[in-house]
Structure 1
């Protein structure tokens, strides 16, 4: 297939646009983490990114738009990791499956620690505005439990899913963002996974 001249011109421009957008998001993340969201203006973000405020406004309408983009990016990464872990875990023993889920979320949070702290000084799902993510995690967990345990009464299924997601998310937040330096991270995850797997046994 012959590539048109217009397509050849458009590609570098699209790449530059992506690069500029990433510069803005990186600068915002760094400033939010260092100074708090309330103490950072779009002017300051533009200066930190090495561009004019007019250039920044071509990509984001205001600071809230930048924050929402960062939040959605974090949600997407967390959901992708959790979904992959749940699907892979369908054929695994419960302890290994839960450990994979914990690793997936904790590793993402550790990688994005600066972003999480920028979005909220209080690392909870509600403070981070991740309520929708929690609901989707519950749906995935219900599917996993039905696959593992077979049909369950609705009330029992809801309770088990809620407990698993609550324990998993709370543990992942703690391990990913502020795990005690004197403890072996993998050993902690394995112990939590064994505890949950033992609770799931009939």
Structure 2
């Protein structure tokens, strides 16, 4: 039977009235409160972690490539990625990184062209060998049954018939690594998904 400890401790009904905060902030605050109530002081939900802000600028190219490209002094440059959140277990040192992507979609009373946008496609970079390697290293999540990141999608894309098939196709075998948050007024279902599918890999 699925556990609903986080849902039962969530104060999302109070938070959901504060829509001006935005979905990302509400997610971080709501998840932190739920985790604190079940696992006091064990988890930290870190918005916009800086773990990967220099991964590109710190990457060394070969002399051969450097001789063939524009090669200015980049010692003061910071090129990398900034994810939307990190869920850190302070006891195990394990971390789950994630992004919340909002995108339009093809739904009732619209045309297929309403499903424009490429926010979901930009998230596909996390499947690349280089990012997979460094995410695995930083996250300390080594299980092959799960990826070291969580993609949460919001907006009409979550009901778009084409985009749902596209994203489900990409994540075959890793269905627990993405979540279609169709009703952002309902944190309970998202907390259940996290607790039953991702939290065990952080413990």
* More strand by percentage: 2
Structure with the higher helix share, 1 or 2: 1
TM over 0.5: no
Instruction: Report the TM-score, using the length of structure 2 for normalisation.
Output: 0.31
